[in-house]
Amino acid sequence: MDKAEERKVSKEAVDTVLQEGIDFFVDVDRPGYLRRVGILPKSYKFEIYPLYLGTLAKISKIMVDMEFAEKVTADTFQTTGIETMAKHTTDLLNVVALAIHNKESKPPKRISKILRKHATPTELLALITFVVTQMDVQDFMKSIISVKGMSLIKDGS
């Protein structure tokens, strides 16, 4: 099997997994007594399925409203990173919570609370990556291009 065929097979496998949803667990790092004896869970299981258009619109709005520094140098990297974390942690948690909930109603605050309390920045990056993948921007753009190309109403000139 050549490289192109391998890539096609792996893309099809990834697409299949993404249609079924992505399961992930958020572990509690320092479980208290109730967690150790099994009354409260030691980890939380969440799933991110392909996003509905309403959820996609809400997430897109949050992402568009986020502002980032245009230029970061080695001298300002640390300061810029800390400022960005302070400004956008809640936004990123909201994006993940919306993707997990994936319904018209507001997501339960419990989701954001669990993520804020137990997720690491590395885990948040992985979750955001899953969400962006589930947004399926490419197919959304193809549908817009298709509709624009199929328009029966032309400008009269």
Residue 15 lies in a domain: yes
- In tens, the pLDDT along 33-80 reads 888 888 988 889 998 888 888 999 999 899 888 887 777 777 777 888
Residue 18 lies in a domain: yes
Residue 149 lies in a domain: no
CA–CA separation, 128 vs 18, rounded Å? 14
Which pLDDT score, from 0 to 100, does residue 152 have? 54
Which pLDDT score, from 0 to 100, does residue 120 have? 87
Residue 122 lies in a domain: yes
Cα torsion angle, 128, 142, 56, 81, sign: positive
Which residues lie below 8 Å from residue 91, measured CB to CB, with a gap of 6+? 62, 65, 66
Which pLDDT score, from 0 to 100, does residue 144 have? 76
Q: What is the DSSP secondary structure assignment for residue 70, as one 8-state letter? A: S
- In tens, the pLDDT along 114-157 reads 999 988 888 888 888 888 888 877 777 777 777 777 655 666 55
Find the mean pLDDT for residues 87-100. Answer: 92
Q: Please list the alpha-helical segments (H only) found in the chain.
A: 3-20, 33-36, 53-65, 77-101, 109-118, 121-135, 137-149
Residue 27 lies in a domain: yes
Q: Over the Cα atoms of the chain, what is R_g? A: 20
Cα torsion angle, 110, 22, 62, 84, sign: positive
State the total domains in the chain.
1
Residue 154 lies in a domain: no
- In tens, the pLDDT along 81-91 reads 788 888 888 99
Residue 24 lies in a domain: yes
What domain range is 127 assigned to?
Answer: 3-137
Residue 146 lies in a domain: no
CA separation, residue 73 to residues 5, 67, 87 (Å): 41, 17, 19
